[in-house]
Amino acid sequence: MKLSIKKYGALLAKYMKNSKLSLFLLALILGGSIGLQLVNPMLISFFIDGIGANKPMNDLIKAAVLFIIAAFTQQLLAIASTYLSQNIGWRTTNTLRRDMVKHCLSLDMNYFKEHPSGELVERIDGDVTALFNFFSKLFISFANNVLLMVGIILVLAFKSPLIGLAFTLFLVLAFSILGRTQKDAVDNFGKDREITTKFYGFLGEHLDCTEEIKVNGAGSYCLERFMELLRKWLPIRLKAHLSGYKIWITLSGLFGMGDIMIFALGGYLWYKGNITLGLVYLMINYFQLLENPLDQLREQLMDIQKATASIIRIEELLKLTSSIKDDGTASLGEEEELSLSFEEVSFSYEKEIPVLQNITFDLGAGKVLGILGHTGCGKTTLARLVVRFYEPDSGNIYLNGKKQQDILLKDIRKSIAYVTQEVQLFHASVRDNITFFNPGIPDELIISTICRMGLKDWYENLKEGLDTVLVPGGGMSSGEAQLLTLVRVFLRNPRLIILDEASARLDPVTERFLENALSTLIEGRACIIIAHRLSTVQRADNILILDKGRMLEYGQREELLKNKNSRLNELLSFGIEEVLV
Ligand SMILES: Nc1ncnc2c1ncn2[C@@H]1O[C@H](COP(=O)(O)OP(=O)(O)OP(=O)(O)O)[C@@H](O)[C@H]1O
């Protein structure tokens, strides 16, 4: 798994362009910190040799004071570098997270069908988090650690070439041994990330279906699959962590051996009178100082490999494009009414399995089209085509006479409201649930719309009014939730409404509220209602009956009612709710 330096550079340049000053400061601070790490032991070495050589007290006190100042400054630099690197890391990864969420939202529905929500969370958060170190200070700190090592060797080689050579040999040996141990760890951590993604995919999918799982008593089966996944995960995780542990043991072993070497060499050279006691101290101190950058470099190499895997996955995701091209330029205007036409439209989700075939109809501005048909005949699919979640395989869809592909996608989505049967509530206040977090809608308008849509009693019982927090999947009856979606739509003020009527039977009072709300809502707007109720069919101007994706009957409702042999009359005589629900 490799990436070119150019790719790393491009990513860093893109996401760090707003952090140039912070990066520059961080590089300075880390450089300063390296200098101090090298200087401090030299001061102590000077102090030790100074005592031995009976240097004036003044010089020794100066060295001691300098040591204290340097140590204090080092702590301040450590705080500043932590602050800066955290800041850079969070800012850049948050920008990347935002870009990924934005990109995912632009993808077509097929993508969401194929990727469970948990997997997306892991992609957007897990992979991006793995890049935190990469962005925060990886390359600067990497360069600094190399510099620190080179600095140590140069200072020692200057004082004694033999000691410089011994340190260099030790580092070469350490890197080659660690490199081998590391490879194992990277492979094992890669496998661990893969199964982690799978686990979160599983979790997200099953949490979404908690109600169905409980109702159908499938809890134990799901738990068994959950345990199976955990059982697979355990050895992989253990292996990954053991290989991390192996690196730690190797490193400790290397430094244990190194310590022996340094003590022996230092003792021998001092005994022979080749070096001073201060230099022996410097050797020992520098050797201990090496452990940190060596360990950090090892970790950083591993971080680069982990980051590489994440960058590749992120790139793959960002490369995906929506099959729905948003390159239209025509506008739908702000005020015009909206009309819709289907012209010989055919569509299939999967090749060779047609879902809609040759659908043709017109929906004039301000008119209501009722769509009827058995389950699975393609009603929802037709609605999805209107809002351009999918593209027809053949035929054309027109809005106000303009081809759908030529119109700006944002205009389509703004002008059309699609109310599905499933009411989704956010864990948020009533206000946010209604406005979709748009702070520009005044409370008075929200409250008056709530009352207008028949939810006055419900609203008056809310303890904290619009600030009351709703919980997804609870706190509202299905009738109330449906009315709430109508409030949402009314406030959006769309020009075409598609309403997939809930097939669940509502009590007569709620049904009457819903009827009234609907009348208010659709007044003056074009409307497609996937009808499940007789009362809805009665308000339609035109009726389209689908059967296995084909048009079984289409025409003006009144004309169809006059025709005794029409399919509509047949449906009505059986009772539409009985036939379609
Ligand atoms: N995302 C999808 N991918 C593949 N096939 C799909 C998808 N959505 C629906 N289908 C299939 O397309 C056909 C039409 O489904 P659609 O949901 O449009 O029917 P419907 O008339 O709305 O049904 P219902 O009244 O039950 O909601 C069905 O055979 C269904 O299995």
CATH code, domain with 366: 3.40.50.300
CA distance 100 to 464: 36
Give the nearest ligand 1 atom to 350 CA: 4
**d(CA 394, ligand 1 centre) in Å:** 18
CATH code, domain with 95: 1.20.1560.10
Same-domain pairing of 245 and 133: yes
Compute CA distances 353 → 324, 349, 385, whole Å.
Answer: 20, 7, 17
Same-domain pairing of 167 and 286: yes
Structural domain that includes position 476: 340-580
Query: Which among 294, 266, 31 is positioned nearest to 156, based on CA atoms?
Result: 266
**d(CA 415, ligand 1 centre) in Å:** 24
Give the nearest ligand 1 atom to 377 CA: 21
Residue 326 lies in a domain: no
Our count of domains for the chain comes to 2
For the chain, the straight-line distance linking the first and the last C-alpha, in angstroms and rounded, comes to: 53
* CB of residue 549 inside a 6 A radius of ligand 1: no
Q: What is the pLDDT of residue 214?
A: 85
Same-domain pairing of 305 and 349: no
Domain C-terminal end among 261, 286, 319:
319
Residue 558 lies in a domain: yes
Same-domain pairing of 353 and 233: no
CA distance 209 to 382: 26
* Rounded to 5°, angle at Cα 54 from 48 and 55: 80
Q: Which of 220-224, 269-273, 463-467, 532-536 has the lowest mean pLDDT?
A: 532-536
**Atom 29 (ligand 1): residue with closest C-alpha?**
376
Same-domain pairing of 285 and 363: no
pLDDT in tens, 314-348: 888 888 888 888 888 888 877 678 899 999 999 99
Residue 329 lies in a domain: no
**Atom 12 (ligand 1): residue with closest C-alpha?**
355
Give the nearest ligand 1 atom to 109 CA: 1
**d(CA 554, ligand 1 centre) in Å:** 21
**Atom 20 (ligand 1): residue with closest C-alpha?**
376
Give Rg (Cα) of the chain: 35
Q: What is the pLDDT of residue 581?
A: 44
Asked casually if ipTM beats, i.e. exceeds, 0.85, the reply is yes
Same-domain pairing of 376 and 495: yes
Compute CA distances 284 → 152, 261, 370, whole Å.
Answer: 11, 10, 86
Tell me which residue has tokens 């003006």: 556
Average pLDDT over residues 485-501: 87
Residue 331 lies in a domain: no
Same-domain pairing of 50 and 171: yes
User: Which residues, listed in sequence order, are joined to residue 545 by a DSSP beta bridge?
Assistant: 372, 553
Residue 214 lies in a domain: yes
Instruction: Tell me the average pLDDT of the chain.
Output: 85
pLDDT in tens, 336-379: 788 999 999 999 998 888 999 999 999 988 899 999 888 888 99
For the CA atoms of 236, 242, 243, 246, what is the dihedral angle to 10 degrees? -170
Give the nearest ligand 1 atom to 380 CA: 22
CB distance 348 to 520 below 8 Å:
no
CA distance 120 to 16: 24
Same-domain pairing of 420 and 309: no
Domain C-terminal end among 272, 287, 319:
319
Same-domain pairing of 182 and 47: yes
Same-domain pairing of 166 and 81: yes
Residue 334 lies in a domain: no
CA distance 341 to 417: 17
Q: What is the pLDDT of residue 82?
A: 86
Domain C-terminal end among 288, 319, 350:
319
Burial string for 504-537 (b: 16+ CB within 10 Å, else e) reads eebeeebeebbeebbeebbeebbbbbbbbbeebb
Same-domain pairing of 278 and 351: no
Choose one of 108, 357, 380, 419 to mutate for the ligand 1 pocket test, by most ligand atoms within 8 angstroms of C-beta.
380
**d(CA 187, ligand 1 centre) in Å:** 42
Residue 328 lies in a domain: no
CA distance 147 to 261: 23
pLDDT in tens, 500-555: 876 555 677 777 777 777 788 788 889 999 977 666 778 889 999 998 999 999 99
CA distance 363 to 377: 20
Same-domain pairing of 314 and 347: no
CA distance 277 to 46: 10
Query: Which among 84, 183, 99, 185 is positioned nearest to 135, based on CA atoms?
Result: 84
SS3 label, residue 493: coil
Residue 327 lies in a domain: no
CB distance 156 to 282 below 8 Å:
yes
Give the nearest ligand 1 atom to 549 CA: 14
pLDDT in tens, 166-217: 999 998 988 888 777 777 777 787 788 788 888 888 888 888 788 788 888 8
* CB of residue 176 inside a 6 A radius of ligand 1: no
Tokens describing residue 486: 């109508």
